[in-house]
Every structure is written in structure tokens, then in C-alpha cells.
């Protein structure tokens, strides 16, 4: 009994490990998307660019704050030098020290700093939109790859059923052939069809593994032949698309991350131009500070002045208001303004071209989706018609009044039609998801 209990425990452990492995290799669509977003290097790089843009924005805001600096100087003068206490020449060794703190703030510079803040704020928002766009692109690709795996699984399942039907028919014919009730050629014809079904299964298995590999690479995880996906009921998506291409385009203009990004980049370029023009104006700067010093040769009537007394008594304060007038700086400001103006005009072209490409892509996607829907509806009717034809041919063939040629033609027509229907079904769903993507609804 003890050995049986140990054996049962081992078996249960192995089963638990196997179930755990199967669970680990099973992904839902959302898990695939989350895994891809977490592992994708391009998305991570876009995230770093957004972080850098955020740092630039913080620095642009900090540039409006006053600066504060402190200085500490200690030194020794040998020979004839100036005594920092009396400001006269002495011909002896002098130990000296100086301490100070100063601050300054730009009161006005043509609002250049304020415009730079707006420039970096729009650049930061644009970076976040570009990060979202990278995520949306990856999400769409994962969805399409996921559906492609399901498509190939359905095709493989249909091919296996076709093979089973051929195998059953061949089994029946081989029995009749051994009994001498039929011509051997009839069994040979169906056997050839069975081999053709097996080749189809082999090709579809290769296509399925290729689709799994593509999905694994998008997720940036090692390829595993044991990966399994949760099924999605594609039938619920097989309805006519409710919007035309113009409606999709207008929605995309409002929600598509790439459109928002180029608009924000344009605004950033406009404020960069305004910031550059600010350097044409005078700059008004307010500054102030506190200083003190020490000299080893400083004396008064009582003798050498102590260090602490010198540091305390030598403190003096300064405050200044400065006006800097830009007269000539090797044309740097002028050329900076020209370059900023070129950047604004280029951002206009980028925005125009992005909208143009978006409209053309949506029009093409909508046309392809409409064609896929019409093809799907036609194939539904074709499968229904070929199903009736095959059942009639099968009944005649089984009754011995039909030829193998008629039977195989009817079967091949139905098999081919079923495979085309499965492909058309998923092709239509894929095309709908592409249009949803342009409206930021691909994952819904």
C-alpha cells in the first residue's frame, strides 16, 4: 500500500507539473498585448524619449528661477603682492581668503524663457503621443498576428476533418475491394485524395507554426511549439462595418495619436520660433551678492586682526540691475530665427503629409474591408451550395451508382470552399480591426 501511495503521489505531481506548463503556455489576447508592450524595445525607447522631453520641460521652467552660487578662495602670495585687506603693495608672504555668495535673475529677455517653456511643453506632449502611437502600432500587430494563428488553427482543423472523411470512405472501399465488389481503381482514387489531404495538413501545420513564431517574436518571447491561444468567437465580428471611409478619417483626425503628435510638434516649433525672436530684445538682469575676505598681514592699532574679526567686519553687499543690449553677435540670433522659421514651415508640410497618408491608408483599408466582406458573403452561399452537391454525390457513390470522379470533384469543391470561407472570415475580421485601429479602438 505504501508503494502504491508513493506511486500515486508521483503521478499526481507529474500531472500537476504538466497542467502548470500548459497553463503557462496559454495566452489570452490581452496577455499577448501586455507581454509585447512590456518587452518591446522600440516602445521602451519611445518611453525614454518621453522621459527626456519631460526633463527638458522641467529645465525650461527652472530657467526662470534665480541662480544662487557660493565661492570660497584660499591662497598664499609670495614676494611683492597686493594685500587684499589694505589694497596696498607688500613685500612679504600673505595668506588670504575670500568668501562670497551671489544670485541673479533674468527679469525680461523678450519673453524668450516663457516661450521656451511652451515649446518644451508641447514637445513633451508630442513625445507622449509618439509613445502611445508606438504602443498602438504594436497592439494592432499583435492582434493581427493573434488572429492569424486562430485562422491557421481553424484551417488545420478543417483539413483534419476532411482527411477523416477521406479515411472513412477509403476504409469502406478497401473492404468492398477485398470482397471484389468494386473496381480497385475506386479505392486508389480515394487513397490519392487521402494523400492529398495529408499534404494539405502538413502545409497548414507549417503555416500555423510560422504564425506562432511571428506572434512570439512580436511578444519578444522565445518561440515555443506548445504555445496555445484562447479562442475568440470570430462569428460575432462578422457584421457589416457601420462607418464609411470618410467617417473613419474624421474620427481618426480627432483621436489618432500620430495626428495629435504632428500637431503638437508644429505648436512646439512655433513657440521655438517665438523664443528665438525674444533674443532680439534687450535683457534686463537683477543681481546681488555678499562678500568678505581675510588677510594674514592685516593690522590695526591693537596689532594683528584675528581671522574671525576680519571675516565679520569685512562683509559687504552688492546689488545691481543690468541691461544687456544685443547689437551684434556674429548673426547667431538672426540665423537661429531663420532655422526656427524653416522648422515651422517643415512641420506644416509634415502635418499635411501625415493627414494625406492617413486619408489614403483609411480609404485603401476600407475598400479592402468591403471587398473582404463581399467575398465572405459569397463564400457562405458557395459552401451551402457545395454542401448539398457533396451530400448528393456521396449518397450516389455510397450506393454504387456514382463514380469516384464525381465524388472527388464534389468533395474537392466543398473542401476548397470551406478553406476559402475560413480564410475570408478571418480576413474580414482583420480588415475591421485595422479600421478600428485608426479610431483608437483596435483592442476593444
Domain end (from 291, 325, 359): 325
Residues 300 and 263 in one domain: no
- Residue 267's pLDDT is 96
Domain end (from 294, 325, 356): 325
Residues 287 and 204 in one domain: no
Residues 136 and 233 in one domain: yes
Residues 303 and 163 in one domain: no
Place of cell 556674429: 330
Please report whether residue 15 resides in a domain.
no
Residues 139 and 260 in one domain: yes
- Residue 303's pLDDT is 82
Please report whether residue 38 resides in a domain.
yes
Identify the CATH number of the domain in which residue 297 sits: 2.20.200
CA distances in angstroms from 224 to 24, 36, 153, listed in the order given: 11, 16, 16
Residues 87 and 231 in one domain: no
Q: What is the 3-state secondary structure (H, E, C) of the chain?
A: CHHHHHHHHHHHHHHHHHHHHHHHCEECHHHHHHHHHHHCHHHHHHHHHHHHHHHHHHHHHHCCCCEEEEEEEEEEECCEEECCCCCCEEECCEEEEEEEEEEEEEEECCCHHHHHHHHHHHHHHHHHHHHHHHHHHHHHHHHHHHHHHHHHHHHHHHHHHHHHHHHHHHHHHHHHHHCCCCCHHHHHHHHHHHHHHHHHHHHHHHHHHHHHHHHHHHHCCCCCCCCEECCCCHHHHCCCCCCCHHHHHHHHHHHCHHHHHHHHHHHHHHHHHHHHHHHHCCEEEEEEEEEEEEECCCEECCEECCHHHHHHHCCEEEEEEEEECCCCCCCHHHHHHHHHHHHHHHHHHHHHHHHHHHHHHHHHHHHHHHHHHHHHHHHHHHHHHHHHHHHHHHHHHHCCCCCHHHHHHHHHHHHHHHHHHHHHHHHHHHHHHHHHHHCCCCCC
Domain end (from 325, 357, 379): 325
Domain containing 96: what range?
A: 66-108+282-325
Please report whether residue 243 resides in a domain.
yes
Please report whether residue 103 resides in a domain.
yes
Residues 270 and 195 in one domain: yes
Residues 79 and 148 in one domain: no
Residues 259 and 353 in one domain: yes
C-alpha dihedral over 416, 418, 423, 429, to 10 degrees? 160
Residues 131 and 91 in one domain: no
Please report whether residue 11 resides in a domain.
no
Residues 154 and 258 in one domain: yes
Place of cell 450516389: 396
Angle ∠(53,57,62) on CA atoms, nearest 5: 145
Angle ∠(165,169,171) on CA atoms, nearest 5: 115
Segments in the chain below pLDDT 50: 1-23, 442-444
Identify the CATH number of the domain in which residue 390 sits: 1.20.1600.10
Please report whether residue 1 resides in a domain.
no
Please report whether residue 115 resides in a domain.
no
Write out pLDDT tens, residues 241-257.
888 999 999 999 998 99
Q: Which residues contact 296 (CB under 8 A, 6 or more apart)?
A: 93, 94, 95, 96
**Structural domains counted in the chain:** 2
- Residue 134's pLDDT is 93
Please report whether residue 244 resides in a domain.
yes
Residues 339 and 410 in one domain: yes
Amino acid at each position: 500500500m505504501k508503494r502504491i501511495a508513493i506511486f500515486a503521489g508521483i503521478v499526481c505531481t507529474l500531472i500537476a507539473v504538466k497542467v502548470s506548463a500548459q497553463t503557462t503556455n496559454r495566452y489570452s489576447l490581452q496577455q499577448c498585448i501586455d507581454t509585447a508592450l512590456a518587452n518591446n524595445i522600440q516602445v521602451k525607447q519611445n518611453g525614454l524619449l518621453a522621459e527626456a522631453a519631460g526633463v527638458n520641460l522641467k529645465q525650461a521652467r527652472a530657467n526662470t528661477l534665480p541662480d544662487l552660487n557660493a565661492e570660497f578662495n584660499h591662497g598664499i602670495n609670495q614676494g611683492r603682492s597686493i594685500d587684499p585687506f589694505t589694497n596696498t603693495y607688500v613685500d612679504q608672504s600673505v595668506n588670504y581668503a575670500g568668501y562670497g555668495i551671489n544670485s541673479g535673475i533674468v527679469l525680461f529677455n523678450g519673453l524668450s524663457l516663457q516661450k521656451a517653456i511652451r515649446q518644451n511643453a508641447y514637445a513633451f506632449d508630442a513625445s507622449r503621443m509618439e509613445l502611445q502611437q508606438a504602443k498602438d502600432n504594436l497592439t494592432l500587430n499583435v492582434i493581427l498576428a493573434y488572429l492569424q494563428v486562430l485562422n491557421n488553427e481553424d484551417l488545420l482543423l478543417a483539413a483534419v476533418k476532411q482527411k477523416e472523411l477521406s479515411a472513412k470512405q477509403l476504409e469502406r472501399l478497401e473492404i468492398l475491394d477485398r470482397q471484389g465488389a468494386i473496381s480497385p481503381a475506386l479505392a486508389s482514387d480515394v487513397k490519392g485524395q487521402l494523400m492529398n489531404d495529408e499534404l494539405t495538413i502538413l502545409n497548414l501545420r507549417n503555416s500555423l507554426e510560422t504564425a506562432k513564431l511571428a506572434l512570439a517574436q512580436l511578444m519578444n518571447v522565445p518561440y515555443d511549439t506548445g504555445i496555445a491561444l484562447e479562442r475568440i468567437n470570430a462569428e460575432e465580428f462578422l457584421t457589416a462595418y457601420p462607418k464609411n471611409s470618410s467617417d473613419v478619417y474624421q474620427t481618426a483626425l480627432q483621436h489618432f495619436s500620430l495626428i495629435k503628435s504632428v500637431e503638437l510638434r508644429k505648436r512646439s516649433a512655433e513657440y521655438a520660433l517665438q523664443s528665438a525672436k525674444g533674443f532680439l530684445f534687450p535683457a534686463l538682469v537683477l543681481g546681488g551678492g555678499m562678500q568678505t575676505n581675510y588677510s594674514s598681514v592685516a593690522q590695526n592699532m591693537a596689532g594683528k586682526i584675528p581671522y574671525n574679526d576680519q571675516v565679520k567686519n569685512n562683509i559687504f553687499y552688492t546689488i545691481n540691475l543690468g541691461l544687456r543690449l544685443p547689437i551684434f553677435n556674429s548673426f547667431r540670433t538672426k540665423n537661429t530665427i531663420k532655422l526656427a522659421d524653416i522648422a515651422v514651415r517643415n512641420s506644416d508640410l509634415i502635418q499635411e503629409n501625415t493627414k494625406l497618408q492617413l486619408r489614403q491608408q483609411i480609404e485603401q483599408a476600407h475598400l479592402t474591408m468591403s471587398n473582404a466582406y463581399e467575398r465572405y458573403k459569397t463564400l457562405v452561399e458557395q459552401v451551402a451550395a457545395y454542401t448539398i452537391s457533396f451530400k448528393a454525390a456521396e449518397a450516389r457513390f455510397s450506393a454504387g451508382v456514382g463514380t469516384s470522379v464525381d465524388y472527388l470533384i464534389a468533395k474537392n469543391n466543398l473542401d476548397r470552399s470551406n478553406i476559402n470561407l475560413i480564410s475570408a472570415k478571418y480576413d474580414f475580421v482583420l480588415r475591421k480591426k485595422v479600421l478600428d485601429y485608426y479610431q483608437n479602438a483596435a483592442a476593444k
